[in-house]
Every structure is written in C-alpha cells, then in structure tokens.
C-alpha cells in the first residue's frame, strides 16, 4: 500500500516537472538597448534617435585617434601645410604623413569611412521611419529637417575625400561615393557620380531649410535653419557655384563676430555667439585622450601635448599682422604659458584651442561659425568679379580681427589669395585646410618651413596625383563587390 | 594519466548517469585524480595538456590561476563559441575554472563524440568536459594533508634583440638613408647629418634623444656608421636598461589542502579545505584562492536517497594589463619593444648618476627623453607598480538532489544546482603617469551572477537474462541572471585611497541587467546484450532565449553501437587479444553560445547621449530567423589490448557544422559592420591514435610509454558570401578557417634594397620583372594569395613513466608538426618605423649595398610601413616539441610510516613547461589557435615540490 502511494506521488511529481514552463519563460529583453518600434513610437522617442546621431559626431571608435568627426578635423587640417607637428609623438600622425588615406588597410582610413556612414545610417533610420511617428507633427518635422541636414553634412565631407573635386559649370560624372539613402539596404551599393551625390546634398539641404523654418532648438549642438544656410553656402562654394554661395552666405556679414577677448579665450565654449553650431562636451563624455583638445590644445597634460605641441606654419605666422588678434593665439617662442609639467616648449605653437584644464581635456567644438560665412561670401563675390563687394565683405571680418586692417586694394588673383590667407588664419585647426587645397587645386607645400621631414615624411605633393583621392577601406572593398576602388 | 585499461565492470561517468565501459558506444578520455596530482597546476584545465588525442589546449596565460582555452576535435563554429561545455557534478558550470580547487576533483571526463555528448544536446557541439568532485569511501575515516611549493619563471625566452652598440649603428644608418631619400643629400652629406656634424643638428641622438655612452652626442656614431671605438657605456645607465629584469621576479606558489572523508552503510561524507597563494613572475601579479567543499550523501530509507554538494570559493587576483597587446602598460609588450638604450629611471645625462627625489629614492623615467617608438611619456614599470588591477570573486554553489526508487526498476531524481557568484573589479590608474594622469582614474565594476539548473530525471533499468535495458527521460531548465554595475571617476583627492568617494568627476556610471533562459526535454535508451552488443539512442529538444519565438526550439538525436569482439567465442582462440571493441556513433548537436544574449533582436543602444540630452544609436539589424547552430558528428573506432602489454585505440571522426552562427560582414556604407545569421557550413575531420605499451613489466620495475597522435582537417563548406577577409585569414569554400591570406612577399631587390612583392596589377608603372615574375615595391599593389594554414598537420604527446619500488618518474612531451605561425611580434621587431623601438638581431642582415642578397630591406627611418606590412614574410614553421612535464615521486615505505601512524605518504618534485624547441627563439607557438602572436603574459615555467600525507 505504501509503495502504491509512493508511486502515485512520484508520477505526480514527474508529470508536474515535465510540464513545460510557460511560453514567456524564454522571452528576454535587454536593459541597455531598446527595440526599433519603441524608438519610433513617438516624436519624443525619435528625438533620442536624433540625439544619438549627434552623439556619433564625437563617438570614439576604439583608440585615442578615433574620436569621431573631431579626430577627422585634426586629420584633415594635419594633411595640409598649416598644421605642424613639433615632435614625434604619434597621435593622428599617419594622416599628417599622408600614410593613412593612401593605405586601404589603415585603421584610420577605415575609421573615417565607418564614422560618416554610421552617422548616415542613423539618419537614414530616422528618415525611413519618420512617416510612422504618430504624434507631435511639429517636432517630427524638426527631427526630419535635422536628420536631412546631418546626412547632407556627412556626405558633403566624404564626397570631398573619395571623389575627385567637383568642377563648377559642368556635369561631374566622375565616381563619388555610395549614395545610401535607406537603412533597409544592406547590399553594397556602387559609387554614385559626384554630380549625383551633390544633387542629393543640395536637395536635402533645401528640404531641411524648409522643415526647420520657425523651429527653435534647445541646444546649439543641434542644426538649425541658419546652420543649414551656412552649410548650403559651404557646399555651393565647393561646387564652384559662386552665385549661390554668395547668396546663401550673404546674411552672415551682419551677424555677431566675437570680440578679441573671446577670440583668445580658448575656442571651447558653444555659448560664444559667433558659433552657429558645435558639439557640447560634458565632463562625463570628455573621452579624455580621445578628445579634440587632448591633441590640439597646448595645456592638457597628455604625452602628445608635452612632446608634440601643435604649431602653425612659420611663414603663415609671419604673414599675419602684429595687430591681428588671431596672431595672439600663436607663439613664435612657444612661450604661451600653458605648457604642462615637463612639456616641451616649441616655436610657433598654438593656444587657439584650450582644454578646460591641465587635467580635463573637455571643451565644446565648433562646426560652423559666422566668420566662415563672411569668407565664403567674399570668395564667391571675388570669383564672380564683384571685387568691390568682395573687398567690402572681407573688410568686415579682417578689420574686426585686426583694427589696423585697411580695405584691400588687391584685385584678381591677389585678392583671391588674400581671401584664402584670411581663411587659413581664421579657420586654423577647424578641419578645412586640406579640403581647401583640393578644392582650390593647390599643391601641398611644406618645404623650407618648420615641418620636420622625419615627422611629416611627405613634404611636397603636387595637386592632382592619385594621392589626392582617398583609398576606400579594404573592408568596404571586400564586403561591397559593386564598389570600384580609387587608383592607388 | 591516460585512459586506463578497464576491467569489465569499470564504469564511466556520462551525461545524466554512468555506463559500463564495455558497453560504452562513444569516445571519452578520463583524467583521474592520480594523474591530476602529477600536474601541480593551480587550474585543473592545464592538466588536460597532452592527455588525450583530439584535445588541444593553448598555452595558458602566465597570470597566476588563469585558464587555458580548450578545443575538442577542431573548430566547429565560426563566430559562435568553440569552447566545450563544462559539467560540474551534473550541472552546467558557467563560472571560471580558477574557482575550482584541482585537489577536489575525482575525475575529468572528456566526451568527444557526438553521440555521448548528444544528451546535452544543443549546448554540446564543442564537446563536453565532465568534472566530478571527490566523495567519501567506505571504511575508516581518512584525513589527508598535502602541501606543495612552486617556483615560477618566464617559460618562453625573449626574442633575440640588438644590443646598444649595434642599435645606435643601425639607427644611424636608417637616419642617414632617410636624409638621402627625403632631403636628397649625398651619402657624405647625409652621413654628416646623421652623425650630428652639421651645425644645429644632433643627428641620431636628435631622434633617439638618449645617449648612454660617455662621448658627446655628435661623436657617438662616426660618418662611417661605426660606433666611436673609444666610447664606453656609462655603467650606471647601462645597468638600468634591462626592463624585464626590473619588472620580474621568481614567482612563488604555496598550496595547502586538507580533506577528511569516510562512509558507512548509509552515509558518505567528504570535506575539504584548500588554500593557494600564487605570486606570478611579474611583479604585482598574484592569485589567492580559498576553497571549502563538502559532499554528503545519505540513503535515508531503502527507496530514498538524498545528498548535497556545497562548495564555496573566494579568489583574489592582482594582475597586469595584457588584455590588449597594444596597451602601454603591458610589461611583456613594453619590455620587448623598448630600445636597448633607455633607462627605467631618470639619470643625469652627463654623469649618468641616478636622479633622486627628496627622500633619496630613484625616480622613474617619465619617458619624455625617448625616441618616438619608445613609449614617449610612459613607463610601464612605474605604472604597473602604481596602478592596481584587482579582482575579487566569490562563488557559492550547491548541488542538492533527492532520489526515489520505486516499482523495483524505476528511479526518479530531482536535481537543483544553484550558484551565486560575485565579481568585484577595481582598476586604479595613478595620477602621475599613464592613462590615469593627470589626476588619477578609478573604475569599479561589480557583477553579480545567479545560475540555476533544475532537472528531473526518470530512469528505468531492467536486466532480463543477458538483456539489459536502460531508459532515461528528463526535463531541464536553465536560468542565468547577471547584474552588472560599473562606475568610473577621475581626479584623485588624497593619494593612496582608491575608493570612488576619493575622486571628483564621474566619467562613467552605468548598470545593466541581463538574463538568459534555456529549457530542454530529453530521453535516452541504452541496450546491451551480454555486454557484447551495445546500442544507445538519445533525443533532445532545446529552447533558447537567444532566439525568437519563431525559431528558438530545435530537435536533435544520436545513435551509437559497439561490439565487444573479444567476448565472442570465435575470438577465444586468439589468446594474444585481451580486448577488442569496435564502435560507431552518430550524433547531432548544437550551439547557441558566443553570440549576444538578444542576438535575434533589432536594437538601438541606449546611453549614447548628446551631452545632457538622452540619445540612442542604431546597434543591430536583428534576425528573427536566427536559430541554433548545428553539427553532425560521426565517429568510428576500435579499442584494443594485446599481449597484456599494449593498449590503444584508433578512431576516425568527422564533424560537420551547419547553420553556422555567423557575423556576416556588411559593407560599412550600410552603416553597420555586421549582422548575425545562420549561414555557412564547416567540416572537421581527423584521426586519433592512442597507444600505451608496458615496455618493462617486472615485479619491481615498470616502464610504460603512451603516445597520442591526432590529425585535424578543417574545411569551410559554405559561406554567406564568396569570400570573407578577416585579419590574416580569408574564408572561402574549400579551405580551412585558419588559412592565411596574405600579400605575397618576394624578397629584397638586390639593386636598391627595396622590398618586393608579387604584383597584382602587372600593368602598373612601378612594376619590375625579375626572373619572369612581375614584382612591385608598392604594397598596395601586392598580390594576395593563400599561404598555408595555422592548423598543424598533426599534434599530440608522448608520456614515459618509470616505476621502481616506491619511485615513479614520468616525462611528458607534447608536439605539433606543421602549421604556420604569423609572427607579428617578430614583425614589429623588424620594423624601423619610429626611432626608439627595439630591433631584432636579424636586422643586422639588412641590405646595405647593391648586390646584397638578403631578406631584410634597406633601413630607412620612418619608412616602416613602406615595407613592413602584413604579408607572407612573417610566416614561420609552427612545428615544435615541448618538454611539458617531468615528475619524480616517491611513496614512502609503509613500514616506516606505520610507526608514525601514517597510512600513506608521498613526496614529489615536478617541473612544468620546461623547454620548447621551435623555429624561432621567443615565439609562443600555442598562444592562439589562429596562429597569431600577441604580447601575452607568457606561460610560466614552474618547478614544484610537494608532500601528500594520508592518516
């Protein structure tokens, strides 16, 4: 009897235990990530996806040399002649040496490509799903406008790296970059022509301009309508569409220009009214050695700053007037007083960009400023032959920076050269110089200067060699059979 | 140490039960506690080296207590895990092996074939290692005490590198050539510049920044490229240039274990206490482990049995950073690549005297006076002494069960295995030098894990005449909850205190909770007739939370059969055959490990904020169809015993994996790098031979020799795209996953010393033709081709054991034949990219003048990446022979012991990892299965002395 009872209990236990757990038992969800449908379930949620896209601008891709767009700003300036390494410490040095973009397997080369396409992919996700967001149409429109502008901005940079320059007044059928406009496509796309890419950029910017009409932004880390206007002018200048560039840029000459005090206070505060758009860096996201200021500032205590403080090209320095406030950001004897303990003092070093402190590499980073708009207008007017107007516009900026500056009497190429000079000293370190060299078909010339050949390796490169077009990263070539590599 | 000869009724631990060896249809290797004792290692997995064919282990990290990685019969997965399933006392063990005291282990059983592992179904595709801990044995209570002490040193020597004299000379030559190339100077002019004879130029010292000879900078290397014959090394500086010496020591390990155990008719018990204190051969590396273990089982009534195994472990480690080989504070990397002219401490550059701080202590070099390639601004010795990487983890595990027998042949068992594990990491970086500078940085990370396995098993065992049948039905659930909390702050306030409250600025603060769930149903039927003919059939159905509802369940089955020929009457005639068994098995298995917890879901990452505004970024593409990776294993083998002297087995295995969990590369232009999908098929096959012979079998002298031999062929059968290039390998159908795909190095152009590769685009303008081959000096135009495999053609071990009276002496050699190593460390030493980093001795063979025939291109400082690229030049024959272990043990005579009331006592001396013969000094052949070399904390050479006493 006892046995029998036991048997029953056992069978009961077995049946109980063999019964499946309920269906939800195997359903799990992460706490550090969210599903796509949640992200686009409301405008407020989609806005976090937009902020994620802005985050990518300063996202760090592994090592210290891969701090998003801001590392690329340093690389692009470094590939020109105005930004000088004074020591051998190797931060973002291969770009400076022209050894990164000419090597398809170089990680820095891959990082640049990966960075902008990740940004584009995130914008594409937003644009793919924008229609399905059910609430707050006003905010949805703003999100859409910003995503369009961000995507256009990213394309406007990479098209200049991988494609041959856009030549104004003709159809540019040379190969550009893959024009990916939807996050759904995972098939490798062939390169669109430079013409097609620019058509997309200008179209997106026009649309963004309309969408952002009347929209207020909470933070200057977001693109607003005025920023779009500057981006339109920047793109038109690159397309050598002088009339459009002059027209888009015309509104900036009446805008705020920073005071001499502000100009020498470190370029690290987005509240500066001359800044149209920038990245805000809070301490929690300083990235320490991956920060912009951990490479380019004179004051943060990093090996690269102690051993390789960054300088301006000596002849560019000497070409500046002593009364020009911009000259005050560079030090012929290197004695700017910011050198960290045991750091090297090197001639012509810069104090334009200052880290928050010797132990805090944080600081906001500018992506668009009013002065660039003025320079664009002056250059475009000069190209259009409206030299009087060009001189007047140039005077507004140059005189503001240097009270002794008198209205230019140059004309023709001399006037253009003067405008280019103003661009170089105004925008040093902000990620323009190499793009300008390529746009203006100028040679890279670091000869007879404070560039040391063992640091820079490439001292001279005539414009137009195959090395002016970046190689696509090998990983893209491998995974995208439709992509045609640039000439070695 | 090897699978021991089995008597007929010997049993083997298999999944959810045991089986008689004669009736076992699969393939298993057992390491018993006696064999474990011969390998005085702190991590039991290290004892698997060389013990069984088909089992490969890579060299363990030199970090005390670290676990080597293990592969059983090849590499079934591409991106999912290739690690075997570990079963500890019947339940999956997910913790670290370093938490288990090897002294508590009764046996390690490696299940290699598909059929015997199949009862673990989808988790067992990479094989199973079953660990059983000790239990009490019938008889009077037994107390054992053991103690051992070990000394450890670096197990693999450093590569041969240049001494200061040659170093200065070669750097000079590189600089001179650079001036010739880049400044267009004549040889004479460039030589003057390099020697520092041009006004305002310091020449080579301007690049290297450091002169440890007693002559002025511009008299150090003459225009002839020779070091000044009158120059003498400054003795104070020269003695301070051996960086490895100053970061290393002789490591000491002490291990004490105590157990008492016993059993009566109703209850058996086993209790142990163990303590290990292991200081590694690198300063500041240590491992301390305290374990308590108990195992109590009681037959409460004739039909009810219950028991519990309780164990607790506390492990504290202090380590160094060698996780990433490029880390500046990795001392292996740092000491390997530091130029031979740089000092650890600061010296007066004229007198060479040490510079002292206020307290009279030598001050560490802050690395500002070094060349670009010598870790400017860093000092890995100071950083390793001042930084702290501490890990403190505790584990409590309980296995409890109740077993009911009913209706004579039925048995029902309910098992619960519960484990709590805490892992507390603290990483502090000093405020003076390195990543923590300035200000100091502290990161804390707390991980709390709960693992539970519940299973219910119903067994039916019946024996009718010569027929024996066993049936098992079971259900199992797996629960894993992981809490992860981490924070990082910068700005240390008062020195010495490394708690977060003592820092100012939060740079990271985050927590995360993850969970994993699994559920399985399974069954098995074993049938045997007279133990002559045996068959086994098993089935399992598994579900995993890593996959979507649509595709998370999968079914698997396995069959096996064996024929014990030597029991047949017709074999009786052949008296020299003591034992002969033929077996074959087929099993389907799977794997879901190695991919993300939520791999199927399309996700956005949280926490990617735009300053103060919350931000999310696109993370994964998602894949609702993602499901189990599966493999089909086939095994055929014979086991034999002849002349009462020779035992062995020969087996052929083949494992075909399909639905590989694959991180399929996406074009970067799509905005994502990859997505996970079930694409691809791969095969592993090979032969395993084990032979053990008693060469001498006298009454007091025995000599046994055991040989392991394994071949492995790995072949990709199907891929998501035509080819996938990953690092130095390229996956295509028909080759192995470890097949090198590299630029084809040709050699050095004798005319100008340039490196040459076989040209891809032969029309290119720079192409030259030598011996009818189109060559290029531009690596971007180098042709890629398959260049051999990282997998050896064969590998195995030879174990010799001599026993004479109370003495036993054993020597274990392990070997690999064939296979290639991509020696990236050697490549780095052959690179003159930046002045200041160390150079390999082979650099002396560089091209110097037209007509020189050499493999080393002309030296040009800064031109490293011109000729020093990833290519076939760095492949090296991977064959090696290693003296893995020598043990001499002596059992003290009983007569003497009895007087001391001791029943047994043994003393031994043992050496681990004593010597390796390979194709390049310094190369660590078994570091990675992929054949690549990183700057890992190299395995130790360990000499141990120990004593075991049983009362």
Answer yes or no: are the C-beta atoms of B362 and B379 closer than 8 Å: no
Number of H helices and E strands in chain A, helices first, is 20, 11
Mutation for A interface: B206, B670, B836, most A CBs within 10 A: B670
Contacts for A313 with CB less than 8 Å, ≥ 6 apart: A81, A82, A83, A84, A348, A446, A449, A450, A451
Query: What's the gap in Å between the CA of A20 and the closest CA on chain B?
Result: 8
Q: Residue A297 and residue A304: Cα distance in Å, rounded?
A: 10
Q: Does A12 touch chain B (CB under 8 A)?
A: no
Q: Residue B287 and residue B278: Cα distance in Å, rounded?
A: 5
Query: What's the gap in Å between the CA of A154 and the closest CA on chain B?
Result: 12
Domain count, chain A: 1
The DSSP code for B782 is B
Q: Considering the domain boundaries, does residue B307 fall inside one? A: no
Three-state helix/strand/coil letters over B26-95: CCEEEEEHHHHHCCCCCCHHHHHCCCCCCEEECCCCCCCCCCCCEEECCCCCCCCCCCCEEEECCEECCC
Give the per-residue pLDDT at B8: 47
pLDDT at B261 over 70: yes
Residue B600 corresponds to which tokens in the numbers above?
Answer: 């199927």
Mean pLDDT calculated for residue range B834-856: 93
pLDDT at A2 over 70: no
Q: Residue A438 and residue A460: Cα distance in Å, rounded?
A: 14
Q: Considering the domain boundaries, does residue A152 fall inside one? A: yes
Mean pLDDT calculated for residue range B26-43: 80
**Closest to A306 (Cβ–Cβ): which among B368, B552, B675?**
B368
Q: Considering the domain boundaries, does residue A222 fall inside one? A: no
Q: Residue B805 and residue A245: Cα distance in Å, rounded?
A: 98
Best CA proximity match to B942, nearest among B915, B907, B905? B915
Mutation for B interface: A15, A36, A458, most B CBs within 10 A: A36
Give the per-residue pLDDT at B32: 82
Residues in chain B closer than 8 A to A478 (CB atoms):
665, 723-725
Q: Residue B335 and residue A173: Cα distance in Å, rounded?
A: 54
What is the distance of C-alpha B722 from the center of its chain?
31
Give the per-residue pLDDT at B97: 80
Residue B665 corresponds to which tokens in the numbers above?
Answer: 């590369």
Give the per-residue pLDDT at A34: 80
Query: What percent of chain B has a predicted confidence (pLDDT) above 70?
Result: 97
* Mean pLDDT for chain B overall: 88
Residue A368 corresponds to which tokens in the numbers above?
Answer: 């668009």
pLDDT tens-digit profile of A127-168?
Answer: 999 999 999 999 999 999 999 999 999 999 999 999 999 999
Of all residues in chain B, what percent are helix, strand and coil, respectively (each to 5)? 15, 50, 40
Q: How many CA atoms lie within 13 A of B851 on its CB side?
A: 0
**Closest chain A residue to B184, measured at CA:** A453
**Closest chain B residue to A105, measured at CA:** B780
Answer yes or no: are the C-beta atoms of B582 and B562 closer than 8 Å: yes
Residue appearing with tokens 């911009």: A326
Query: What's the gap in Å between the CA of B608 and the closest CA on chain A?
Result: 6
pLDDT tens-digit profile of B429-458?
Answer: 999 888 888 889 999 999 999 999 999 999
Residue appearing with tokens 């005071």: A259
The residue ranking higher by pLDDT, B34 or A9, is B34
Residue appearing with tokens 């910011």: A338
Residues 177-236 on B with a CB inside 8 Å of A are: 178, 182-183, 207
Q: How many CA atoms lie within 13 A of A194 on its CB side?
A: 22
Q: Report strand pairing: B681-697 vs B701-711.
A: antiparallel
Q: Considering the domain boundaries, does residue B692 fall inside one? A: no
Residue appearing with tokens 């109590």: B296
Domain count, chain B: 1
Q: Which CATH number belongs to the domain containing residue A159 in this structure?
A: 1.25.40.390
The residue ranking higher by pLDDT, B795 or B41, is B795
Domain that holds residue A104: 37-215+443-483
| A280 to B552: CB separation less than 8 angstroms, yes or no | no
Residues in chain B closer than 8 A to A18 (CB atoms):
456, 473, 475, 521
Q: Considering the domain boundaries, does residue B200 fall inside one? A: yes
Best CA proximity match to B529, nearest among B463, B595, B592, B594? B463
Q: Does B523 touch chain A (CB under 8 A)?
A: no
Q: Residue B67 and residue B58: Cα distance in Å, rounded?
A: 10
pLDDT tens-digit profile of B473-523?
Answer: 999 999 999 999 999 998 999 988 999 999 998 888 889 999 999 999 999
Q: Does A406 touch chain B (CB under 8 A)?
A: no
Q: Does A338 touch chain B (CB under 8 A)?
A: no
Give the per-residue pLDDT at A456: 87
pLDDT at A11 over 60: no
Residue B400 corresponds to which tokens in the numbers above?
Answer: 């409890």
**Closest to B598 (Cβ–Cβ): which among A30, A186, A283?**
A30
Answer yes or no: are the C-beta atoms of A99 and A89 closer than 8 Å: no
pLDDT tens-digit profile of B879-894?
Answer: 999 999 999 999 888 8
Residues in chain B closer than 8 A to A51 (CB atoms):
609-610, 613-616
Q: Considering the domain boundaries, does residue B119 fall inside one? A: no
Best CA proximity match to B563, nearest among B539, B587, B596, B528? B528
Q: Considering the domain boundaries, does residue A255 fall inside one? A: no
The DSSP code for B113 is S
Mean pLDDT calculated for residue range B94-119: 81
Residues in chain A closer than 8 A to B202 (CB atoms):
none
Q: A484: helix, coil or strand?
A: coil
pLDDT at A223 over 60: yes
Q: Considering the domain boundaries, does residue A27 fall inside one? A: no
Query: What's the gap in Å between the CA of A347 and the closest CA on chain B?
Result: 15
Q: Report strand pairing: B128-133 vs B85-88.
A: parallel
Q: Considering the domain boundaries, does residue A241 fall inside one? A: no
Residue A119: pLDDT band with limits 50, 70, 90: very high
pLDDT at B13 over 80: no
What is the distance of C-alpha A168 from the center of its chain?
24
* Mean pLDDT for chain A overall: 92
Contacts for B803 with CB less than 8 Å, ≥ 6 apart: B701, B702, B703, B809
Mean pLDDT calculated for residue range B702-707: 93
Query: What percent of chain A has a predicted confidence (pLDDT) above 90?
Result: 79
Burial class (CB within 10 angstroms; exposed 0-12, middle 13-18, buried 19+) of B439: buried
Q: Considering the domain boundaries, does residue A349 fall inside one? A: no
Contacts for B476 with CB less than 8 Å, ≥ 6 apart: B453, B454, B455, B456, B518, B519, B520, B522
Q: Does A180 touch chain B (CB under 8 A)?
A: yes
- In terms of residues, how long is chain B? 951
Q: Residue B196 and residue B223: Cα distance in Å, rounded?
A: 9
Answer yes or no: are the C-beta atoms of A240 and A167 closer than 8 Å: yes
Q: Is the dihedral of CA B226, B232, B235, B236 positive or negative?
A: negative
Q: Considering the domain boundaries, does residue A220 fall inside one? A: no
Residue B337 corresponds to which tokens in the numbers above?
Answer: 């690549």
Q: Considering the domain boundaries, does residue B231 fall inside one? A: yes
Q: Is the dihedral of CA B44, B47, B52, B58 positive or negative?
A: positive
The DSSP code for A347 is T
One DSSP character per residue, B296-360 reads EEEEEETTEEEEEEEEEEEEEEEE---SSTT-TT-HHHHHHHB-TT--SB-B-TTT-PBPB-TTS
Give the per-residue pLDDT at B7: 46
- CB count, 10 Å around CB of B689? 17
Answer yes or no: are the C-beta atoms of B107 and B33 closer than 8 Å: yes
Domain that holds residue B230: 164-242+330-337
Answer yes or no: are the C-beta atoms of B797 and B809 closer than 8 Å: no
Give the per-residue pLDDT at B67: 80
Q: Residue A292 and residue A300: Cα distance in Å, rounded?
A: 11
One DSSP character per residue, B349-393 reads TTT-PBPB-TTSPBPBP-S-SS-TTS-TT--HHHHHHH-EEEEEE
Residues 537-556 on B with a CB inside 8 Å of A are: 543-545, 549, 552
Q: A275: helix, coil or strand?
A: strand
Query: What's the gap in Å between the CA of A117 and the closest CA on chain B?
Result: 5
Alpha helices, H only, A102-167: 107-129, 137-162
Q: Does A466 touch chain B (CB under 8 A)?
A: no
């Amino acid at each position: 009897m006892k046995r029998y009872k036991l048997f029953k209990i056992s069978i009961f236990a077995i049946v109980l235990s063999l019964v499946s757990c309920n269906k939800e038992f195997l359903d799990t969800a992460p706490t550090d990530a969210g599903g796509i449908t949640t992200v686009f379930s409301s405008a407020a949620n989609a806005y976090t996806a937009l902020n994620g896209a802005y985050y990518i601008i300063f996202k760090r891709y592994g090592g210290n040399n891969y701090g998003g767009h801001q590392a690329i700003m340093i690389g692009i300036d470094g590939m020109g002649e105005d930004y000088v390494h004074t020591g051998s410490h190797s931060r973002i040095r291969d770009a400076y040496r022209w050894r990164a973009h000419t090597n398809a397997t170089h990680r820095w080369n891959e990082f640049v490509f990966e960075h902008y396409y990740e940004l584009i992919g995130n914008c594409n996700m937003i644009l793919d799903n924008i229609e399905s967001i059910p609430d707050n149409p006003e905010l949805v429109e703003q999100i859409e406008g910003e995503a369009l502008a961000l995507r256009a901005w990213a394309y406007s940079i990479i098209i200049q790296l991988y494609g041959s320059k856009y030549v104004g007044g003709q159809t540019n059928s040379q190969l550009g970059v893959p024009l990916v406009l939807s996050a759904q496509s995972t098939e490798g796309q062939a390169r669109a022509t430079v013409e097609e890419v620019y058509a997309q950029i200008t179209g997106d910017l026009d649309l963004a301009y309309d969408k952002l009409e009347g929209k207020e932004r909470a933070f200057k880390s977001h693109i607003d309508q005025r920023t779009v206007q500057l981006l339109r002018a920047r793109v038109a200048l690159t397309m050598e569409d002088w009339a459009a560039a002059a027209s888009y840029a015309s509104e900036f000459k009446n805008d705020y220009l920073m005071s001499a005090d502000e100009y020498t206070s470190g370029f690290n505060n987005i509240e500066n009214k001359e800044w149209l758009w920038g990245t805000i860096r809070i301490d929690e996201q300083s990235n320490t050695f991956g920060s912009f200021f951990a490479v380019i500032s004179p004051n943060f205590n990093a090996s690269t700053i102690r051993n390789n403080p960054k300088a301006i090209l000596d002849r560019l320095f000497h070409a500046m007037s002593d009364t020009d406030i911009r000259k005050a950001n560079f030090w012929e004897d290197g004695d700017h007083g910011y050198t960290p303990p045991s750091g090297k003092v090197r001639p012509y070093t810069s104090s334009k960009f200052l880290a928050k402190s010797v132990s805090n590499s944080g600081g906001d980073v500018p992506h668009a400023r009013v002065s660039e708009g003025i320079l664009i207008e002056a250059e475009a007017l000069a190209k259009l032959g409206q030299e009087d107007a060009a001189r007047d516009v140039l005077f507004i900026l140059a005189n503001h920076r240097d009270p002794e500056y008198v209205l230019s009497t140059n004309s023709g190429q001399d006037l253009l050269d003067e405008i280019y000079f103003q661009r170089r000293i105004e925008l040093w370190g902000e990620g323009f110089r190499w793009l300008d060299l390529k746009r203006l078909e100028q040679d890279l010339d670091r000869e007879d200067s404070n560039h040391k050949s063992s640091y820079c390796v490439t001292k001279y490169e005539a414009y137009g060699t195959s090395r002016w077009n970046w190689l696509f990263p090998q990983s893209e070539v491998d995974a995208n059979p439709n992509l045609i590599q640039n000439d070695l | 140490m090897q699978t021991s000869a089995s008597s007929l009724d010997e049993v083997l631990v298999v999944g959810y039960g045991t089986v008689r060896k004669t009736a076992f249809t699969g393939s298993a290797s057992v390491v018993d506690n006696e064999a474990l004792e011969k390998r005085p290692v702190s991590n039991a997995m290290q004892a698997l080296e060389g013990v069984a064919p088909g089992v490969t282990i890579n060299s363990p990290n030199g970090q005390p207590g670290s676990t080597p990685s293990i592969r059983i019969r090849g590499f079934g997965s591409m991106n999912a895990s290739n690690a075997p399933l570990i079963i500890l006392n019947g339940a999956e063990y997910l913790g670290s092996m370093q938490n288990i005291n090897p002294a508590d282990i009764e046996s390690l059983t490696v299940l290699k074939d598909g059929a015997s592992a199949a009862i673990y179904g989808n988790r067992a595709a990479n094989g199973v290692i079953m660990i059983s801990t000790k239990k009490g044995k019938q008889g009077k209570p037994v107390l054992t005490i053991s103690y051992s002490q070990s000394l450890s040193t670096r197990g693999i020597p450093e590569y041969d590198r240049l001494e200061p004299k040659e170093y200065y000379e070669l750097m000079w030559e590189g600089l001179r050539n650079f001036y010739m190339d880049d400044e267009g100077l004549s040889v004479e002019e460039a030589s003057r510049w390099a020697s520092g004879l041009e006004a305002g130029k310091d020449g080579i010292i301007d690049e290297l920044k450091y002169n440890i000879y007693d002559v002025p900078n511009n008299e150090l290397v003459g225009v002839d490229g020779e070091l000044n014959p009158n120059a003498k090394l400054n003795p104070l500086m020269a003695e301070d240039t051996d960086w490895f010496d100053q970061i290393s020591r002789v490591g000491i390990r002490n291990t004490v274990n105590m157990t008492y155990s016993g059993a009566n008719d109703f209850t058996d018990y086993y209790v142990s206490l163990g303590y290990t204190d292991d200081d590694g051969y690198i300063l500041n590396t240590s491992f301390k482990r305290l374990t308590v273990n108990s195992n109590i089982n009681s037959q409460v009534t004739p039909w009810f049995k219950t028991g519990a195994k309780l164990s607790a472990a506390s492990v504290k480690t202090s380590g160094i950073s060698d996780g990433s080989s490029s880390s500046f504070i990795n001392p292996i990397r740092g000491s390997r690549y530091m130029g031979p002219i740089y000092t650890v401490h600061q010296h007066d550059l004229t007198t060479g005297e040490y510079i002292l701080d206020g307290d009279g202590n030598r001050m560490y070099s802050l690395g500002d006076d070094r060349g670009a390639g010598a870790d400017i601004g860093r000092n890995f010795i100071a950083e390793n002494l001042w930084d702290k990487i501490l890990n403190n983890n505790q584990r409590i595990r309980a296995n409890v069960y109740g077993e009911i027998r009913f209706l004579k042949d039925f048995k029902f068992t309910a098992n619960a295995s519960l484990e709590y594990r805490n892992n507390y990491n603290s990483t502090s970086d000093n405020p003076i030098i390195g990543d923590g500078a300035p200000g100091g940085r502290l990161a804390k990370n707390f991980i709390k894990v709960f693992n539970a396995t519940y299973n219910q098993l119903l067994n039916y065992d019946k024996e009718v005449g010569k027929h024996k049948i066993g049936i098992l039905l079971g259900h199992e659930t797996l629960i894993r909850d992981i809490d992860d909390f981490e924070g990082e702050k910068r700005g240390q306030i008062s020195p010495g205190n490394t708690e977060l409250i003592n820092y100012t600025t939060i740079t990271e603060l985050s927590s995360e909770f993850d969970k994993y769930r699994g559920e399985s149903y399974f069954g098995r039927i074993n049938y045997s007739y007279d133990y002559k003919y045996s068959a086994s059939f098993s089935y399992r159905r598994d579900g995993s939370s890593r996959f979507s509802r649509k595709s998370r369940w999968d079914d698997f089955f396995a069959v096996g059969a064996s024929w014990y020929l030597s029991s047949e009457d017709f074999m009786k005639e052949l008296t020299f055959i003591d034992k002969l068994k033929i077996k074959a098995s087929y099993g389907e298995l799977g794997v879901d490990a190695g991919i993300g917890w939520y791999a199927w879901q399309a996700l956005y990452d949280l926490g990617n904020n735009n300053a103060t505004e919350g931000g999310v970024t696109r993370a994964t593409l998602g894949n609702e169809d993602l499901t189990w990776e599966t493999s089909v294993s086939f095994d055929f083998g014979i086991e034999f015993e002849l002349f009462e002297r020779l035992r062995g087995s020969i087996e052929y295995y083949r494992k075909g994996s399909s639905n590989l969990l694959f991180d399929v590369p996406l074009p970067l232009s799509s905005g994502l790098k990859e997505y996970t999908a079930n694409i691809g098929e791969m095969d592993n096959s090979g032969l395993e031979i084990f032979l053990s012979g008693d060469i001498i079998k006298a009454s007091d002298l025995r000599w046994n020799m055991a040989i392991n031999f394994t071949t492995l062929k790995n072949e990709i059968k199907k891929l998501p795209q035509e080819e996938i290039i990953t690092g130095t390998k390229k996956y295509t159908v028909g080759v192995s996953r470890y097949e090198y795909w590299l630029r084809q190095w040709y050699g050095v152009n004798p005319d100008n010393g340039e490196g040459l590769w076989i040209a891809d685009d032969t029309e290119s303008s720079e192409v030259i033709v030598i011996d009818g081959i189109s060559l290029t000096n531009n690596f971007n135009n180098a042709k890629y081709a398959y260049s051999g495999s990282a997998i050896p053609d064969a590998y195995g071990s030879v174990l010799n054991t001599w026993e004479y009276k109370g003495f036993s002496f054993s020597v274990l050699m392990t070997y690999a034949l064939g296979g290639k190593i991509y020696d990236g460390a050697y490549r780095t030493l052959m690179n003159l990219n930046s002045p200041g980093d160390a150079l390999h001795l082979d650099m002396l063979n560089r091209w110097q003048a037209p007509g020189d025939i050499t493999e080393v291109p002309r030296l040009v400082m800064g031109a490293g990446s011109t000729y020093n690229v990833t290519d076939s030049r760095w492949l090296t024959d991977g064959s090696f022979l290693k003296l893995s272990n020598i043990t001499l043990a002596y059992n003290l005579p009983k007569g003497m012991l009895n007087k001391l009331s001791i029943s047994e006592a043994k003393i031994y001396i043992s050496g681990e990892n004593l010597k390796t013969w390979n194709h390049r000094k310094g190369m660590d052949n078994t570091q990675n299965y992929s054949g690549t070399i990183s700057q890992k904390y190299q395995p130790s050479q360990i000499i141990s002395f120990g004593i075991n006493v049983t009362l």
